[in-house]
Structure formats: structure tokens, C-alpha cells
Amino acid sequence: MDGLIDLVYSIPLIGLVFQFLGYLLATLPDIAPITLRAAVPIAFAALCGVICERSGVVNIGIEGTMLTAAFVGWAAGVFLLPVMGAGDPIVFGITPVLLVALALAILSGLLVASVHAWLSISVRADQIITGTIINIAAFGVTGYLNTLMAKTSPTGAGSFKPLAPPTGLEDIPILGWLVATLLAQGPLTITLLILVVVLQIFLFRSRWGLRTRSVGEHPRAAETVGIDVIRLRYRNVIIGGGVAALGGAFLSMEATASFQQNMTAGRGFIGLAAMIVGRWSPLGAFGAALLFASAQGLGQSIKIVPPAGELGVILGSLPGQFFDALPYLVTIIVLAGLVGRSIPPAADGVPYEREAAT
């Protein structure tokens, strides 16, 4: 068997592909947790995009919404820690102060999304410009406050902790590592996994889902059957803001316990690409987020444990920055390859104007 593998690996060029596949299989249990962690903020962003765009509102401001929530979650912890005390975590490292901080982070997401909703639904401004302004504003305000707070060398309230799965799970053959990976996650990651399934069902099986989709496809027709288009769009955009805020909170309260300037680093936009590639469905978007994140997981894995043999020599000669750029490159390539076959809701990005009463 080993002899056969060596033989296959030694084929010129094609052998490299097999070496790569072999490396993927061997490192999969190591890459999977990194990939899932990297996918969480992207997937939250993508779900926010699905909720907004299915009702016909383009939201480019997801990035800024996430950044705001990441900052608020962290800053609220800094301010509340002296007041509320650290407290004892019961499970997941959840302390009262963290819960309040998370609630404030979600609230900030709802607020930012309300601004976007007002500008794009009521003012009927161009939704892409509106979103861009939200991004610039979030970048500016969080950067400003972060610099101001850095003077006092603040202490954060810590972060949520992953669940410790029962030992021995990894030993279950074939899929044991997968179950262990899915269980050994923090509360926000698990929330995401539940949210993906719930949204998938609600969007295609509930009254809200049917109304959302009809408003996104043909608002005029939806209104004639008595659906309040404006109200539904407001509600969806604001709920979407809360979902994006969870992604932001994940960055500063679960993945790390601190805030860095511009820490979202384009994840909101990768989320939008994931939404497009996932054809505006929650499950598809989550899958695409995993795909984009796997580029990051693979890059990290290659940096830490490079593959053996010829492939390792080639990959090792690439500069480390190549792997930093990999998620962005994969996003461009997949988007360019798939977008023509991925059709957005018909009324996506078109402000709705009620017919004047005569």
C-alpha cells in the first residue's frame, strides 16, 4: 500500500495533486477546528446578508456593523468589570458581565442596522453608498474610541470558553474527530450552528420566510396581498444587524478577549461573497463560509506543519504572505467563477416606493 502511494506521488505534476490530497486527508482533523473558527464570523455576516437581501435590501455595511459590535462587546466589558466584578462562570466561561456586554454588542448591531435601514428604506439613498458610509463611520468611531481608551491601559472582561467535550470521542473511528470538533466550541459558535439550521427552515417553511422572499422578489405584488413591505424590510435589516453583531462579538469575546483596530479585516465582505456563492440560502452560505475559511485553515496548517516531500519544498518556498492572501484570492476566484449562475432576489437593492394614494 505504501509502495503504491509513493508511486502515485512520484508522477510528475499530477503526483503533486495527489500529494496535496494526501496532505489534506492527513491534516483534516487539525485543519477542521481552525476552519470552523475562521468560518464563524464570515458565516454570521453571510446570514445577515441573506436576511437583508432576501427582503430586497443590499447591506454592504455588515463589515462596519460587525466592527462596531466587536468594539462595544469588548469596551462594555472594560467599563462593567469594575462595577459588576468578574463573577464565577458556570459553563462556557459565561459570567454576568460577559452576558451584559454581549447584550450591548447585539444592541449596537441593531442600532447600526437601524441607521442603514432608515437611509436605504425611508430616505431611499443608494444602498451601496449607505453601507460604505456605515463602514467608514464604524472604522472611524471604533478607532477613535479605541485610541482614547488605550491611554488608560484597559482590562477586558475576558472571553467565552469552549465546551470541554467528553474525552474519548476522538477515538471513535472515522467521524469521532468531527463530533469532538463540533462540540469543543464556544457558545457563539454553537449559536451559529443552530441559527443556520433554524434560518434555513424559517426562510423556506414559515410565514415570515414566505413574506420575506416575496418582498425581495416582487414588493408590489406582496403589497397588494396586504404585506407591509416597508415594515418587513425594516424588521429584516434590523434583525440582520443583530446577527452580524454576533459575528463581531465572536471576534472580540470568543476568538480573542481584546479589540484591535479594524479587527474584522474584510470578513463582512467575504461574508457577502459567501452569501452569493451560497445562493442566498443559509445552509449554502454557511457551506461557502467554510470553503473560504478552509483557505485560512490550510494556510495556517502549511505554515506550522509543512507537507513532506516535493510538495513541501514548493509550498515552503512561497512567502508566508501568500497564505495570508489565500482567503481573499479564493473568494475572488470562486465569486468570479460562480456569480453568473447565482441569481439574486429580483428586487435586491431597489428601494420601494408606495404607490401614491389617489
Partner 1 sequence: MTRPLGRIWGLLALPVISIILSVVVGSLVIIVSQWLVGGSLEPGLAIDAYGALISGSLGSFNAIVNTLVAATPLLLGGLSVGLAFKAGLFNIGAQGQFLIGALCSVIVGVWLRESPPIFAIPLSIAAGMLGGAAWGFIPGILKATSGAHEVVTTIMLNFVAIAILAAMVAGPLDAPGSPSPITLDVGNSALPVIIGRNGHIGLIIAPIMAALYGFLLYRTTLGFEIRTAGANPDAARYAGMSPKFLIVLTMSLAGMLAGMAGAFELLGVTKNMTASFGTTVGFDAIAVALLGRTSPIGIILAALLFGALRTGAAAMQIQAGVPRELVDVLQATILFFLVASPVVQRIFRLKGARSGLEDTTSFAKSYGGEGGTI
Q: Which residue, 83 or 164, is less far from partner 1 as judged by CB?
A: 83
Whether residue 154 contacts residue 147, with contact meaning beta carbons closer than 8 Å, is answered with: no
Q: What is the Cα Rg of the chain in Å? A: 22
For residue 171, the minimal CB distance to partner 1 (Å) is 40
Positions that interact with partner 1 (CB under 8 A): 58, 60, 119, 123-130, 132-133, 136-137, 139-141, 143-149, 151-152, 265-266, 269-270, 272-273, 276, 319-322, 324-325, 328-329, 331-332, 335-337, 339-344, 348-350
Crossing angle of helices 62-84 and 267-277, in 10° steps, is 130
Whether residue 105 contacts residue 245, with contact meaning beta carbons closer than 8 Å, is answered with: yes
For residue 325, the minimal CB distance to partner 1 (Å) is 4
For residue 258, the minimal CB distance to partner 1 (Å) is 17
For residue 357, the minimal CB distance to partner 1 (Å) is 20
Block residue for cell numbers 427552515:
201
The closest alpha carbon to 351, from 237, 238, 225, belongs to: 237
Q: Which residue, 9 or 44, is less far from partner 1 as judged by CB?
A: 44
What lies within 8 Å, CB to CB, of 144 at 6+ separation is: none
The CA distance from 276 to 293, in Å, is 15
For residue 119, the minimal CB distance to partner 1 (Å) is 6
DSSP H or E segment with residue 192: helix 187-205
For residue 277, the minimal CB distance to partner 1 (Å) is 11
The CA distance from 342 to 230, in Å, is 26
Q: Got the DSSP string for 196-257?
A: HHHHHHHHHHSHHHHHHHHHHH-HHHHHHTT--HHHHHHHHHHHHHHHHHHHHHHIIIII-S
Rounded to whole angstroms, what are the CA distances from 66 to 141, 161, 256, 335? Answer: 13, 20, 15, 22
For residue 90, the minimal CB distance to partner 1 (Å) is 31
Q: Which residue, 290 or 335, is less far from partner 1 as judged by CB?
A: 335
Q: Which residue, 10 or 261, is less far from partner 1 as judged by CB?
A: 261
